[in-house]
Amino acid sequence: MQPLAERMRPSSLDNYIGQQHLVGQGAVLRKMLESGHISSFILWGPPGVGKTTLASIIARQLDVPFFTLSAVTSGVKEVREVIEKARQTRFFNTHNPILFIDEIHRFSKSQQDSLLGAVEQGVVTLIGATTENPSFEVIRPLLSRCQVYTLKPLEEQDLMQLAHYAVEHDAELSKRTFRFTETGALMRFSGGDARKLLNTLELVYESAAPEGDVEITDAIVTDCLQQNPLAYDKDGEMHYDIISAFIKSIRGSDPDAAIYWLARMIEGGEDPAFIARRLVISASEDIGLANPNALLLANAAFDAVMKLGWPEGRIPLAEATIYLAASPKSNSAYKAINEALERVQETGNQPVPLHLRNAPTALMKDLGYGKDYKYPHDYEGHYVAQQYLPDALKGQRFWQPQSNPSEDKLRAWTER
């Protein structure tokens, strides 16, 4: 028999619980479906909130061929084979086939590149699902061709609605009467995840006495999960909240909390590469210029984990975690690039000043390319004042150094 979570997967928006900001009356995805035309998009959200279900509902309602790929098991060859199958199913005046890619953040750059042509040419409509920020994990050309819709953890009222629906409509669970005496533990262990909720209900049902009502209490739920929420959470994908606590503990300079959350992830079966990647991001975003060595150490830890494997890889991860948490913090580089990106979006493609342009040909020299450029090494202190920004942004400041010994030195040098 299929797991309860699969048996309860809704087949239409009418039975779909949660995400009303996307599928409620007048919301963007419902309007798209009602119009009969959808464009490529990526669903971003934690596990168990309905990303895969939503994609299958869309395909079913539009009555189009639906192809799926998992980034964990598919390579470039599989991507090309599926695209070719989709191409053969296309007919005039019909909707494009839908290609659904679960965990698209795990696709390599070459795998994502292999999708571009099919998406651009309309061979397929791409729907991707990811638990990671697409801005960091999806290549820019592909991301620019997709809308990104954010799915939220299910709220308590959504989870209770789903629980009651399951015990009343599932062919197996509906044979018994369920009494929800206490729901605190059920909600806590579910953590906004519909799959966790349904897995827990099934565990309680299977462990209940063969006769009489099935009672839901905090003690019964905790006992079924062996007093450990990780008991049914071993695939490494379910630690959305824990990775958040891990990064925030590093940002908050609490090495004890950071190492605790690291241990929770290790014990829960988290992918070591996922942890190492987050440490590299944290070193850049939160420690930054306050201690540039943090990025070097985090990157070295990443390499060490790849070389050592498991369980020895836990040691460089612990070293990097403690070092980052105990380091001074600065997000000045993070803020500077965000500010610069906003200004680029506002001002567009500003021309490069002529004196900064390269002049490899005589024609370019005649046009003034490179003229009056001052070579800093020819001047005292290897510095000379000249304009480096476009005319429209002359004098603009993006980097605002923060107060720490490392950036104090950088500030003093640039001011001098």
Cα separation, 325 vs 255, in Å, equals: 5
Which is the catalytic residue, given 53, 125, 130, 195? 195
Total Cβ atoms within 10 A of residue 203: 19
Choose the catalytic residue: 7, 30, 52, 68. Answer: 52
DSSP state of 181: S
Inter-residue long-range contacts of 79-84, CB under 8 Å, 24+ positions, other chains counted: 79/111, 79/114, 79/115, 80/114, 83/114, 83/115, 83/118, 83/123, 83/124
- Token digits for 92? 């005039």
What is the C-alpha to C-alpha distance for residues 127 and 96, in angstroms, rounded to an integer?
12
Active site residue 195: yes
DSSP string computed for 211-269: SS-EEE-HHHHHHHTTT-GGGG--SSSS-HHHHHHHHHHHHTT-HHHHHHHHHHHHHTT
Judge whether 271 counts as a catalytic residue: no
Does the active-site annotation cover 51?
Answer: yes
Q: Which of 118, 40, 121 is nearest to 79 (CA)?
A: 118
Catalytic one of 9, 51, 278, 329: 51
Active site residue 102: yes
- In this structure, the number of other CB atoms found within 10 A of the CB of residue 306 comes to 12
Catalytic-labelled residue, pool 9, 53, 102, 200: 102
* Contact predicate 186/221, CB 8 Å: yes
Is 314 among the catalytic positions?
Answer: no
Q: How far from 57 is each of 13, 31, 49, CA to CA, in Å?
A: 7, 14, 14
The structure tokens 């709220």 sit at 155
Q: Residue 72 has which token pair?
A: 């964990």
Helix-helix angle 293-308:272-282, to 10 degrees: 170
Candidates 53, 125, 130, 131; catalytic one = 131
CA distance 381 to 383: 5
Catalytic residues: 51-52, 102, 131, 195
